[in-house]
Amino acid sequence: MNRQEAASIEFRIDPSEGPDRLATCAFSILIDGEPVWPVLSDAAASLEIQGDDLLSHLTEFWKPLMLRQVYPAPFNPGRPSQLRADAAQRWAENPPETADREDEAVTAFEEAQDLSRAFGGLFDLPAFWLLRSGDGFLCETQDKMWQLPFDTAVSALVNAGDALADRLSAGGNQWDGLLAAWKARGEADVMSLLAWSVGLDAATSQALVEGGLLEPPATFAEAVNDNDELRIAARLAGALPEDLLMEILTLARSFEWRAADALGDLAQDCQAHIAERFSAHPPYVQGEAAARRARDWLGAGMHEPIDVFALVRKLGVEIRSEAVEPEGFDGLAIWGDRFGPGMFLNVASERVSADSAEALDGDPAARVTAAHELCHLLLDGSHAVSAVDVLMSRMPVSIEQRAKSFAGEFLLPSRTAAQYWEDASSPRDRNGLRAILVRLENEFGVPRAVASWKLDHGLQFHGVDLSLQLDTLSRWR
């Protein structure tokens, strides 16, 4: 399912006539002016609802709608509607206790994030999912998905709630309790705000605060702002056991803040380039476009190998590396108002063959990880950014796809790989392809999997499909 960028959303509420139908209204949802719910592309379709049902839903679930950015399970579905199917597959492969424990959390997620659940007495309604994702909202319904600017979606929700509240206020004191709750929808104790913000249970959140690793947001507005790099790191690594989560946060806190004007200038240029020309493109296209833009900005030719570690240091990023648990923890990037910019690479990562920090510069997998983390710093830093690439990471799938695409294209452009193939008389046999892959590995310092993947992409520009041959030469590409 491709995610589309959208500029506007409207929760249309058309009140019914008559004093005895004060709460009754016709409800529909439009994105960029096009009807999407309850029926796609049907401007005449709407759903007759009781407005107090919708206002009650918005009031009860305002905090998860505004603050929750992760799924309530140790995996990361590509879209909200896929959560239960993925969970069912996980439950089929685990003890029944796993399903019993996680089913309740999945159900609670569905109740909050699917707006159609507001109308419990109406059946067979299509779901309408709302899930915050960084500076935006994911909206999904009927096999379509959109990314909306966060402020745009919030304004539309507030306008809908206020319109319903104004309507119901004319009904005497019948809805006084609901109206008061709507006005107080952002009130919560600071520890609850922290738990919602990082997607952790109350006990773990409390332990992180008591351990001096996190500070709770002082207000609901601060929590919504989501501009604390350590809370973001905790959210992304939150599927790990508490002791490992604490180790990762300790690492993140170890990067003291430093000025990095060169990194900031490059990040601003790359983000503007993507926003202007590639905002509606898939994540992998955005990643490749940003990599080419970064190469141009840095003055690197298309056929020029890049010393990614030297470059990152020149941009003002502090690099650290050592062996830490778990082995599924590859790296970390952090940059905000209090820490960073910093990059940590794990020598003990199962992807890295180097046995020491000194050997990382020459390790192909470590170079890919460094380029991957650089993408997070460049493209995901419109506000505080923390990227934790770890087993069971809660990083949105699209953000990881973009970083992976960036890393490959930054280190070895697809067109460069294709040029090497042409220069070698365009071989199609396995021996000839193997010789090209070895040359690309050696000259550009990338693993076989990346060399094969980029060669395959490059050949597509020529209408040549050698994917089957390349699959036999690189098992993990």
pLDDT in tens, 136-169: 999 999 999 999 999 999 999 999 999 999 999 9
Cα separation, 321 vs 141, in Å, equals: 43
What separation, in Å, do the N-terminal and C-terminal C-alpha atoms of the chain show? 22
Instruction: Give residue 100's pLDDT.
Output: 85
**29-43, 70-84, 397-411: lowest mean pLDDT where?**
70-84
Cα separation, 355 vs 363, in Å, equals: 10
Instruction: Give residue 28's pLDDT.
Output: 97
Name every residue whose Cβ is closer than 8 Å to that of residue 462 and which is 6 or more positions away in sequence.
418
Strand segments (E) across 68-158: 129-133, 136-141, 144-149
Which one is predicted more confidently, 19 or 198?
198
Tokens of 429: 């046999």
* Range list of H helices, 169-299: 176-183, 190-198, 202-210, 220-225, 229-236, 242-253, 261-277, 283-298
Cα separation, 405 vs 425, in Å, equals: 27
Whether pLDDT at 114 is above 80: yes
Please name which of 131, 73, 138 lies closest in space to residue 107, comparing C-alpha atoms: 73
- Amino acid identity of 200? L
Cα separation, 320 vs 234, in Å, equals: 19
Cα separation, 111 vs 11, in Å, equals: 19
Which one is predicted more confidently, 390 or 292?
292
317, 308 contact by CB (below 8 A): no
Average pLDDT rounded to a whole number, residues 110-126: 90
- Amino acid identity of 405? S
Tokens of 102: 């996680």
Whether pLDDT at 98 is above 90: no
138, 79 contact by CB (below 8 A): yes
Cα separation, 244 vs 233, in Å, equals: 12
Q: Using omega within 30 degrees of 0 as the cis cutoff, is the peptide bond preceding 341 cis?
A: yes
- 225 CB neighbour count, 10 Å cutoff: 13
Whether pLDDT at 390 is above 80: no
Average pLDDT rounded to a whole number, residues 317-328: 88
Which one is predicted more confidently, 200 or 381?
200
Q: Please state the φ and ψ torsions of residue 168, each to the nearest 5 degrees.
A: -70, -25
Q: How confident is the model at residue 120 (pLDDT cuts 50, 70, 90)?
A: confident
Tokens of 380: 């995901």
Q: What is the mean pLDDT of the chain?
A: 91
DSSP 241: -
Name every residue whose Cβ is closer than 8 Å to that of residue 349 and which is 6 or more positions away in sequence.
327, 328, 329, 330, 331, 365, 369
The number of residues in the chain equals 477
Q: How confident is the model at residue 385 (pLDDT cuts 50, 70, 90)?
A: confident
Cα separation, 336 vs 345, in Å, equals: 19
**48-62, 111-125, 316-330, 346-360: lowest mean pLDDT where?**
346-360
pTM of the model: 0.89
Whether pLDDT at 255 is above 90: yes
Beta strand pairing call for 3-5 and 144-149:
parallel
